[in-house]
Amino acid sequence: MSKFNSTKGIEQETIRKIAHPALGEIYCLNEPETRMVLDEIFVDKLYFREGIFILPGDIVFDVGANIGVFTLCAAQHGAEVYAYEPIPATFGLLQQNIHLHGYDKTAQAINIGLSDRAEDKIMFHYPTVADPVSVRVISREVPVRTDGARRGTGVPLQPLRDWSLSRPHASRLTS
In the chain, the percentage of residues whose pLDDT exceeds 70 is: 69
Nearest C-alpha neighbor of 172 from the set 71, 61, 18: 61
pTM for the whole structure = 0.75
Chain segment 115-136, per-residue pLDDT in tens = 888 888 887 766 665 444 444 4
CA gap 78, 109 in Å, rounded: 16
Chain segment 25-47, per-residue pLDDT in tens = 999 998 999 999 999 999 999 99
Q: Quick one: pLDDT at residue 3? A: 38
Say how many domains are in the chain: 1
Left, alpha or beta for 161 (phi > 0: left; psi -120 to 50: alpha)?
alpha
Q: Quick one: pLDDT at residue 137? A: 43
Give the single-character DSSP code of 13.
Answer: -
Domain extent for 27: 2-174
Domain CATH for 47:
3.40.50
